[in-house]
Structure 1
Amino acid sequence: MAVLVRRTTYLAAALALMFGVSTVQAAPKAAPAALASTPDIPIPDIKYTKFTLKNGLTVLVHEDRKTPVVAVNTWYHVGSKNEQRGKTGFAHLFEHLMFSGSDNFKKTYLNAMEQVGATDLNGTTSQDRTNYFQNVPTSMLDYALFAESDRMGYLLGTVDKTKLDIQRGVVQNEKRQGENQPYGIAYELLVENTYPVGHPYSWTVIGKMADLDAASMTDVQDWFKQNYGPNNTVLVLSGDISPEEARKKVEQYYGAIPPGPPLAKHDAWIAKRTGTHRTLAQDRVPQTRIYRTWNVPGANTPEEALLDLGARVLGGGKTSRLYKRLVYKDQLATSATASDDASEIGGQFDMTLTARPGADVKKMEQAADDELRALMKSGPTDAELRLAKTTILAQYTRMIERVGGFGGKSDLLASCQTFTGNPDCYKVYLQRIKDATPATVKKAMNDWLSDGDYVLQIDPFPTGLAATDTGLDRSKEPVAGKAMSLKLPPMQRITLSNGLKVVLAERHEAPVVNLQMMVDSGYAADSTALPGVASLTLRMLEEGTATRKSLEIGEELERLGATFGASINLDGAFVGMNALKATLPQALGLYADLVRNPAFPQNEFARLQKDRLAAIAREKVDPQGIALRVVPALMYGEGHVYARTANGTEDAVGRMTRGDLANYHATWFKPNNATLLVVGDTTLAEITPMLEKTFGGWKGGEVPKKVIATVPAPTKPLVYLIDRPGALQSVIVGAQLASPRNSPESLPLEIVNDVFGGTFSSRINMNLREDKHWSYGVRSLVQPAVGQRTFMSISPVQTDKTGDALKELVREYKGVAGERQITGAELKFAQDNRTLRLPGSFETAGQLGGAYTTIVQYGLPDDYYNTYTEKALALTPEQANTLASRSFLTDRLVWVVVGDMSKVEKDVRALNLGEVRRIDADGKPL
């Protein structure tokens, strides 16, 4: 459940610190002559069948039989713009309420869907629509349709004051959690200052606290009756289903739902502004950030495609003018982006500039303005426009891999139908992209970016809308299906002449190939003196080779329609590329060069060294980031190879030289220490000669051995306190150690953890979010690792409930350890969730590659996922409780609390959980 907004506020991805997501995007070589023009990337064609029920429900069906999964995507044409001042936040509040059960489906929706194996499961609210989506095993489709249709037609009988108060509290904690992040105040200031009072986009999607507090039962009931009828809804079924099957099921489950009342809809209201208005605000952040916004035409207009292209040229990546000037050349900013964010009745063109610490902010802002004015004066070059077009066309090509979720085929069809009435509207957009010229892009930018009315139209209500009696007995749920068999493409193996191991899994449904070079190193291979060197080395792979310069590499990637990324986790380094089938030979040449021949140029190193120091500074003001930076050393002890975070420390990064990075690469990046995983539209016969050509000359050699020492469990509980004055929430982390990823206990422990905190329906989330509504969401997880793993709960809670929440967490730990044993029903729920959702986890080449990466990295059997269901279902309640009793160290937990100690320390100490120690954001004693 989430709020979608049109701009990013760069919230820190705190879990990246510990869980292998020090991800690096590609950098920019001059393209071969054969690629001087835009590659001929065809516009995707998503086949569908469309029909409308008598009650007005519009249904789209897309058949895709590659896995036994159906995406169910429901779009209600109602969002925050349909609210009114004084009653804001209703659309998002109702999104939450619709997860709380309905008249004939008296279950928490996420719990129920998790139990039947749903994946890509969530709901979101934007200014313009509310959507609910899940991919379910084909055998569970009736169950999902019953539940979705019941909350559409039969909800209000279960919405009482208790449910309203619970979800109101959850939403308010979601709001607090967003505002507690660095730059979290930006969004509300932006919408309030870029739109006139009364404009439907002049308030945030999540709404005002006072409005949420004032919402009455009558208010929410009237809101639902007005907006959630079938005549205001688009339903898309995409996947393992025929149009005939779909029509029969949809008629059965939705046909008897009566239509809602006639609706008033907003027409376009761009709210173009004049002049310049400036606001200064302060937040607890390490860097100045500037947002610059213009109101422009919205989605599905001719200007949208042109402004999208202009935004990509100006600030869409490493080939963009803002990046080259502000980040790369002048080094005034750590990031500089532009985007065209198109919504239904209007859009916004944005520039977001994050200053490098110590940089001249005015100079940065002026440089960005210079680049904008230069682009508006001359327009993009032919080469710039080709790159922008290729990037957008390649993005849409990759969408056809997925039936559901954000950016999948069902999402695209639903969006087009909802906002235009034409499911093929994306083709119109992409044709506009193809047809754009430098002159048309220049004109659009000048029309709308050179400077800074309301019409009410009432159309006749469509006739003939009526309910149909389908005879469905809603007092009886459909019988749930069984876990479906899974047969993944086999892992084919060869070894190249130089010893490089290659694993191939064929997947031919989309013309893409995913490459992942897995190097046995990780940030556990950092030297004690230089934590962070592995991560920075991976980041530098994109910054130049012996024959390609940094900015050239990104340009070549865009010409090829390829994406590149490098990442690091505790035990491995990963260099990935996703390539189009049409340009695979050229992409492999670039990929091999990036893997084998990084030059680590001094000027690029100096720039990225500053960026990394700024990133560490951001981590140290983000509450979860602070907690997760200190946990490894507290758990493993100083000096252990796992006692580090990916980004390292300011001291170590400040002392690094480019030679340190080159040495890390030379030491670990050798073919005999690596495996290349290939997933997608190719065969061994086709790919092997290409790999011999590009990687065969890579020479092997000796590689150091990592020593991962075993750590004894703590002998007593410890509580560490970190002060963050003014924090709106506290973050509570409870940490312990668990057995390695390839342990026989690994899968059973994951299932036990699902009961405790690994899913939405887990004990701790139901307690602190759904029952107490002290948090937007809490969870627990087991970090994957070759050695002992960190097993932790992460709980952001409102400040005034910190002590109470910690007390509840202690009770829950003791409960699962034996005081409140796991029941058969809880275990079955967790088992069903894990096994039934499995087919929906391998839809794309990237998902399949991720699974096979896990198998290879941790030495799991090739048939690990094909036998997963059988092994998971074999776990008994007795076995689960025995494992829980020895895995949850209730009397030896390490607790970390980050918050405003002037408000929470007394309550934490009063719990007497163990010795309390004050530490700073680096984990040093105070």
Structure 2
Amino acid sequence: MNHQQLPRPQIKPAAPWSFPQPQKRTLPNGLEVWTFPIPGQHVVTATLVLDVPLGLEPRQVEGIATIALRTSDEGTANHPGDELVDALESVGAAYDGGASASATICSLDVPGTRLEQGLPLLAEIVQGPSYDQSDVERHIALRLAELEQNRVSPPALAALAVRQVLFDPQARDARPPGGQSDTVKKITTEQVRAFHGRHWRPGGATLILAGDLGEHVDAWVDEHFGAWEAGEGPAPHAVPLPRHLPVEQDGRRVVHLVDLPGAVQTEIRVSGVGVDRTSPDFAGLQVAANAMGGSFGSRLNTLLREEKGFTYGAHFSVAPARHGGTWAMSTSVRTEVSVEALTETLRVMNLDEEFTSEEVADAVNQIVGIAPLRYDTAGAIASQAATLAAAGWGPEFVDLHFRRIAEVTPTVASAAYRRVVRPENRHVVLVGDAERLTAPLEAAGFQVHVLDV
């Protein structure tokens, strides 16, 4: 049988893509509404970004914002207790959220055909949760158990240690977002109700709806959120205060070591204070982060994973906040190679050689090229929009940022990296077995400070 050889298919250039732009309006009570009509996205996401930064928590009961959020779907006046769970399940809805330094975010995923029934349930949850004492106490107990688990979790300990090293002890950012044991234990049901009543208000908040919304969505929003009382004005958002710890002492680099006896691996973090989205270095820094440790072909992964076999992967990330931000290199290695891995990591992070054109092109293509896949669902679009709303930006920032990313050159990426990831802004945190690590670290020329978290 003769087989006719078919011509090789031609690869076409990627079609132009841009982040969807919403229809925007503001209700009389101050609630901003962003609607993203996306035909064919049959699971709708309704996300409410509340202007409730963690800085609003009283110091003695930090964690109250998290308890208020986690207990909010345990019952309402119209649907007490398990009736709310049954009502959510009956429409196929799932509720979730989180409290962060910038905002409290509540989100409901629901089939588009049930949005008319799901939206009033979200309105009930955020406007009038019951906060029964038994539910509040149960979530306090769960948070305390979570904190106990974190005491033996190397990644959790590393995250807490990084906060302590980077931020002033008086700053909220220096402590866990969900509070500490001594503050969570002091939270009462009355305090949770008062915190919700004062701060969960439409002023400064943004309601985001994405998916196949239907033609009546505006009327439903007006009906269920229009009578919500406005409350006080915009919340204050504090600028995080850095700690300014020295990275060297007596001519030796300081290593902050959290002791985890018996650990067979070491968590390595090299981190520092970063920039927010207003910085002219933000786009260049993101490209640099990708080239340094944001992909399997990056410098740190090539060294630590491919050449040395020390780890499954190393990651370099940039985390912008509403004001300022952080950056961090993170990896986990076997205890016996910890010192060599740290030494090699610091050497590569010195950036003795600028990023190459190929590295920058690969980073730009990865960041921009995956965007159509990254934002291919209503949930992903709503999540990105919520992140930007919490930071005080609109969704138009995505396209603006991608244009800036596309313009980054090796010189721009290298310069941004050196301005932000400068030597005095590289703080080292290790979590591992101090008995096995201290002597080798000191022999390698490091100054070891045991850190109590």
Q: Same fold (TM over 0.5)?
A: yes
TM-score (norm 2): 0.92
CA deviation string 1:898-923 (max 9, x = no partner): 1112222222222334x421123xx2
Distance in 2, matches of 1:618 and 1:470, equals 62
How far is 1:481 from its partner? 5.7
Q: Which residue of 1 aligns with 2:341?
A: 805
Say whether the 8 Å CA contact 1:616–1:647 is kept in structure 2.
no
Instruction: Assess, with a 3 A threshold, how the Cα gap between structure 1 residues 800 and 467 changes in structure 2: closer, same or farther.
Output: farther
2:278 is the counterpart of 1:742? yes
Q: Which residue of 2 aligns with 1:767?
A: 303
Instruction: Assess, with a 3 A threshold, how the Cα gap between structure 1 residues 696 and 807 changes in structure 2: closer, same or farther.
Output: same
Say whether the 8 Å CA contact 2:71–2:131 is kept in structure 1.
yes
2:317 is the counterpart of 1:781? yes
1:581 aligned residue (103, 109, 112)? 112
Q: Which residue of 2 aligns with 1:682?
A: 213
Distance in 1, matches of 2:433 and 2:206, equals 47
Q: Which amino acid aligns with 1:765?
A: N
Instruction: Assess, with a 3 A threshold, how the Cα gap between structure 1 residues 801 and 479 changes in structure 2: closer, same or farther.
Output: farther
Q: Which residue of 1 aligns with 2:251?
A: none
Say whether the 8 Å CA contact 1:515–1:578 is kept in structure 2.
yes
Bigger CA drift: 551-560 or 868-877?
Answer: 868-877
Q: Which residue of 2 aligns with 1:617?
A: 148
2:74 is the counterpart of 1:543? yes
Instruction: Assess, with a 3 A threshold, how the Cα gap between structure 1 residues 870 and 790 changes in structure 2: closer, same or farther.
Output: closer
1:831 aligned residue (364, 371, 385)? 364
2:37 is the counterpart of 1:501? no
Q: Which residue of 1 aligns with 2:183?
A: 652
Q: Which residue of 2 aligns with 1:94?
A: none
Aligned residues: 447
Q: Which amino acid aligns with 2:365?
A: D
Q: Which amino acid aligns with 1:554?
A: V
Instruction: Assess, with a 3 A threshold, how the Cα gap between structure 1 residues 770 and 694 changes in structure 2: closer, same or farther.
Output: same
Which structure carries more relative contact order (alpha carbon 8 Å, separation 6+)? 2
Say whether the 8 Å CA contact 2:102–2:237 is kept in structure 1.
no
2:387 is the counterpart of 1:854? yes
How far is 1:892 from its partner? 4.0
Q: Which residue of 1 aligns with 2:48?
A: 517
Consecutive unaligned residues of structure 1, counting only runs of 5 or more, are: 1-465
Paired-residue identity, %: 26
4+ runs of 1 displaced by more than 6 Å?
466-469
Instruction: Assess, with a 3 A threshold, how the Cα gap between structure 1 residues 728 and 699 changes in structure 2: closer, same or farther.
Output: same
Instruction: Assess, with a 3 A threshold, how the Cα gap between structure 1 residues 878 and 517 changes in structure 2: closer, same or farther.
Output: same
CA deviation string 1:454-481 (max 9, x = no partner): xxxxxxxxxxxx99795889xxxx9876
Instruction: Assess, with a 3 A threshold, how the Cα gap between structure 1 residues 882 and 467 changes in structure 2: closer, same or farther.
Output: farther
Say whether the 8 Å CA contact 1:531–1:652 is kept in structure 2.
yes
Say whether the 8 Å CA contact 1:641–1:708 is kept in structure 2.
no
Instruction: Assess, with a 3 A threshold, how the Cα gap between structure 1 residues 467 and 649 changes in structure 2: closer, same or farther.
Output: farther
2:438 is the counterpart of 1:916? no
Say whether the 8 Å CA contact 2:61–2:187 is kept in structure 1.
yes
Q: Which residue of 2 aligns with 1:886?
A: 419
2:59 is the counterpart of 1:528? yes
2:222 is the counterpart of 1:692? yes
Distance in 1, matches of 2:15 and 2:396, equals 16
Q: Which residue of 2 aligns with 1:664?
A: 195
1:693-732 equivalences under 5 Å are: 693-703=223-233, 704-711=235-242, 713-717=244-248, 718-732=254-268
Distance in 2, matches of 1:502 and 1:775, equals 45
Instruction: Assess, with a 3 A threshold, how the Cα gap between structure 1 residues 742 and 526 changes in structure 2: closer, same or farther.
Output: farther
How far is 1:588 from its partner? 1.3
Q: Which amino acid aligns with 2:341?
A: A
How far is 1:710 from its partner? 4.6
Q: Which residue of 2 aligns with 1:176?
A: none
Distance in 2, matches of 1:832 and 1:505, equals 26
Question: Match of 2:29, SS?
Answer: coil
Distance in 2, matches of 1:670 and 1:713, equals 36
Question: Match of 1:588, SS?
Answer: helix
1:601-616 equivalences under 5 Å are: 601-616=132-147
Bigger CA drift: 891-900 or 772-781?
Answer: 891-900
1:101-116 equivalences under 5 Å are: none
Query: CA RMSD, aligned part only?
Result: 2.3
How far is 1:491 from its partner? 1.3
Instruction: Assess, with a 3 A threshold, how the Cα gap between structure 1 residues 608 and 757 changes in structure 2: closer, same or farther.
Output: same
CA deviation string 1:744-788 (max 9, x = no partner): 322221111001112222211121111111111121212231122
Distance in 1, matches of 2:318 and 2:195, equals 28
How far is 1:510 from its partner? 2.9
Say whether the 8 Å CA contact 2:44–2:379 is kept in structure 1.
no
TM-score (norm 1): 0.46
Instruction: Assess, with a 3 A threshold, how the Cα gap between structure 1 residues 614 and 523 changes in structure 2: closer, same or farther.
Output: same
Say whether the 8 Å CA contact 1:781–1:792 is kept in structure 2.
yes
How far is 1:615 from its partner? 0.5
Distance in 1, matches of 2:14 and 2:343, equals 38
Question: Match of 1:866, SS?
Answer: helix
Say whether the 8 Å CA contact 1:486–1:866 is kept in structure 2.
no
Q: Which amino acid aligns with 1:834?
A: I
Q: Which residue of 2 aligns with 1:634?
A: 165
How far is 1:522 from its partner? 3.1
Q: Give the number of the structure whose alpha-carbon radius of gyration is greater.
A: 1
Q: Which amino acid aligns with 1:668?
A: H
